[in-house]
Amino acid sequence: MLKKYWIYILFILITFCIFFFLSENKSTISSNDTFSVADTSSITKVFIADRKGNTISLDKKYNRWKVNNKFNVRKDAINVLLSTIHQIKIQQPVSLSAFDNVIKNLSTTGVKVEIYAGTEVLKIYTVGNETANHLGTYMLLDGSNEPFIMHIPSFNGY
């Protein structure tokens, strides 16, 4: 019976392959690494502020990191922070059904993070809470109207 229909099956397979390879993949995400900083060695300051007025300034001077210009930063802690800034990727945009709640949570409980190289601002974004499945974090890039679910590839957590 297959001998009768092999031409039709072949035609369908060829049509599918042509459609698959020639279709333009248009994405709403311009770049997967919009939030990350490629060269973390150029970072000289990370400023973190929450909505309650608590602030932390991590400054790099003479290859040493200080918290609020008073205390030395543990090397492992700054390495984790810089590694996260380097590796963070967009997992997916926030769904339309969750959009309003995510924006509300980011504006009320989000933590603002500013990353500098000298006096130049590299990135500013707001970090929100974790997703329901605990595999991502809601974030909003400064100047953008669209929040994203962010993750670190090969890492399960938030």
- 65-96: pLDDT as tens digits: 999 999 999 999 999 999 999 999 988 898 89
Please state the pTM of the whole predicted model. 0.75
Domain ranges of the chain: 31-151
**Cα-Cα-Cα-Cα dihedral sign, residues 124, 127, 131, 135:** positive
Mean pLDDT of the chain: 84
Sheet strands (E) in 1-158: 45-49, 55-61, 64-67, 71-72, 89-93, 111-117, 120-130, 137-141, 148-151
